[in-house]
């Protein structure tokens, strides 16, 4: 990722309150582009399925030029949050064509007996999403019960971090994600900041549904409108401090943010 100093300063200004609130929730945020490290961190989560191939260095070519990840840790150093984004060059290619060609990297591992004959279908937006496109995936936030980070708004704040950095680094024409129907029905896309949510399904050779995923997406103007609004804040936060900006291993200094607080997640 490359980011001008002026853009980085704007990013720091926009997000310092978000980092402060997450610190008060007990979440230390680390951002990086070393996907071998991300794979290692992700493998610690025995209660989750395999990492999606699009973000797995064993299956895809992804590095600081076309991706980065956001992870969150509790005060004990345990991983409680993941998300990642990948930049796609779809110049002259629709998202529909892209998903047909690279479907194996988007299908949930183990969801269909024959990935070679399984295709995504449904949303009209598949035909219009093209150009410089970002794929937002691997979003997970540990459930901590009533009063935990989810109920305090951490989902929106963590998504905002990724979207702010993504726009600052790449300024994409579109960003999209695939969300299970059960989460879309609960309005997950709204917590992530997305304003378009279209029903879609993975279909096998007999047109039988193997998995029901909604396509959530934003165009550049949607992103601009979202980022023009002040980030959602933790209502109980009282003290706002500037987050510490450091360089995680594997990322250029000007483009890396790590929030650290020793005291102090659809």
Fold (CATH) for 5-255: Aminopeptidase (3.40.630)
For the chain, report the end-to-end CA distance as a whole number of angstroms. 28
The pTM of this model reads: 0.85
Residue 243's pLDDT is what? 37
Distant-in-sequence, close-in-space partners of 147: CB < 8 Å, separation ≥ 6: none
Indicate the range of 14-23, 87-96, 141-150, 157-166 predicted with least confidence.
Answer: 141-150
Q: Is the pLDDT of residue 8 over 90?
A: no
Side-chain half-sphere CA neighbours of 89 within 13 A: 3
Burial call 98-117: b when 16+ CB within 10 Å, e when fewer: bbeeebebbbbeeebeebee
Domain boundaries, the chain: 5-255
Residue 198: exposed, middle, or buried by beta-carbon count in 10 A (0-12, 13-18, 19+)? middle
DSSP per-residue letters across 56-107 = -TTTS---TTTEEEEEEE-TTS-EEEEEEEEEEEETT--HHHHHHHSGGGTS
DSSP-assigned letter for residue 258: B
Q: Of the candidates 164, 180, 261, which has an alpha carbon nearest to the alpha carbon of residue 216?
A: 180
For range 19-40, the mean pLDDT: 95
Distant-in-sequence, close-in-space partners of 236: CB < 8 Å, separation ≥ 6: 24, 152
Tokens of 83: 């998300």
Residue 13's pLDDT is what? 84
Place of tokens 């690279």: 102
DSSP per-residue letters across 23-52 = HHTT-EEEEE--HHHHHHHHTT-TTS-PPP
Averaged pLDDT of the chain: 86
Is residue 55 within 8 Å of residue 67, measured between CB atoms? yes
Q: Is the pLDDT of residue 59 over 50?
A: yes
pLDDT tens per residue across span 120-131: 999 999 999 999
Which residues is 141 bridged to in the sheet?
81
For range 240-261, the mean pLDDT: 36
DSSP-assigned letter for residue 81: E
pLDDT tens per residue across span 175-200: 999 999 999 999 999 999 999 999 99
| Distance of alpha carbon 244 from alpha carbon 174, whole angstroms | 30
Is residue 196 within 8 Å of residue 125, measured between CB atoms? yes
Q: Find the largest Cα–Cα distance for the chain.
A: 58
pLDDT tens per residue across span 194-236: 999 999 999 999 999 999 999 999 999 999 999 999 887 665 5
Q: Considering just the CA atoms, what is the radius of gyration of the chain in Å?
A: 18
Residue 200's pLDDT is what? 97
For range 134-161, the mean pLDDT: 85
Decide which of 239 and 167 is more confident.
167
Kind plus residue range of the DSSP H or E element containing 13: helix 5-24
Residue 231's pLDDT is what? 84
């Amino acid at each position: 990722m490359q980011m001008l100093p002026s853009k980085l300063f704007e990013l720091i200004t926009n997000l310092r309150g978000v980092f402060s609130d997450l610190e008060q929730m007990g979440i230390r945020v680390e951002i990086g582009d070393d996907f071998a490290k991300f794979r290692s961190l992700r493998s610690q989560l025995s209660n989750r399925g395999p990492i999606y191939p699009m973000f797995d260095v064993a299956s895809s070519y992804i590095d600081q030029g076309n991706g980065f990840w956001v992870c969150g840790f509790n005060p004990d150093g345990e991983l409680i949050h993941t998300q990642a984004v990948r930049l796609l060059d779809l110049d002259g290619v629709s998202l529909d064509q892209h998903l047909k060609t690279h479907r194996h990297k988007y299908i949930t591992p183990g969801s269909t007996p024959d990935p070679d004959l399984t295709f995504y279908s449904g949303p009209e937006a598949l035909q219009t999403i093209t150009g410089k496109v970002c794929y937002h995936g691997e979003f997970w936030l540990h459930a901590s019960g009533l009063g935990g980070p989810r109920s305090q708004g951490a989902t929106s704040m963590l998504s905002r971090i990724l979207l702010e950095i993504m726009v600052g680094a790449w300024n994409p024409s579109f960003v999209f994600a695939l969300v299970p129907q059960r989460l879309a029905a609960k309005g997950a896309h709204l917590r992530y900041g997305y304003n378009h949510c279209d029903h879609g399904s993975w279909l096998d050779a007999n047109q039988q549904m193997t998995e029901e995923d909604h396509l959530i997406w934003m165009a550049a103007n949607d992103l601009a409108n979202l980022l023009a609004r002040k980030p959602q804040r933790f209502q109980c936060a009282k003290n706002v401090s500037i987050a510490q900006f450091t360089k995680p291993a594997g990322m250029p200094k000007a483009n890396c943010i790590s929030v650290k607080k020793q005291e102090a997640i659809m």
